[in-house]
Amino acid sequence: MNGKMILGGVVLLIGIAQIIPYGRNHNNPDVQQEVSCDSQQTKEIFYRACGDCHSNMTK
């Protein structure tokens, strides 16, 4: 019983810590530079295949 209460308290604290933002600015920063590509086709491939995760323009 006592161990379950401690475990429940720890899980609750971890859950609350995930909800409350802390430690850094959580805003999406402005783009500082544009990706340089050798052709327009390469740039389109990058944004289609990689740009969603490897940029600040996530969907």
Q: pLDDT tens digit string along 15-53?
A: 998 888 777 777 777 777 777 888 999 988 888 888 878
The reply to whether 35 falls in a domain is yes
Would you say residue 12 has pLDDT above 80? yes
Q: For residue 31, what are the domain limits?
A: 3-50
SS3 32: coil
**How many folded domains does the chain comprise?**
1
The reply to whether 43 falls in a domain is yes
The reply to whether 37 falls in a domain is yes
- E strand map for the chain: none
Would you say residue 11 has pLDDT above 90? yes
**pLDDT for the residue numbered 28:** 72
Q: Is the pTM of this model over 0.75?
A: no
The answer to whether 51 and 57 are in contact (CB under 8 A) is yes
The reply to whether 59 falls in a domain is no
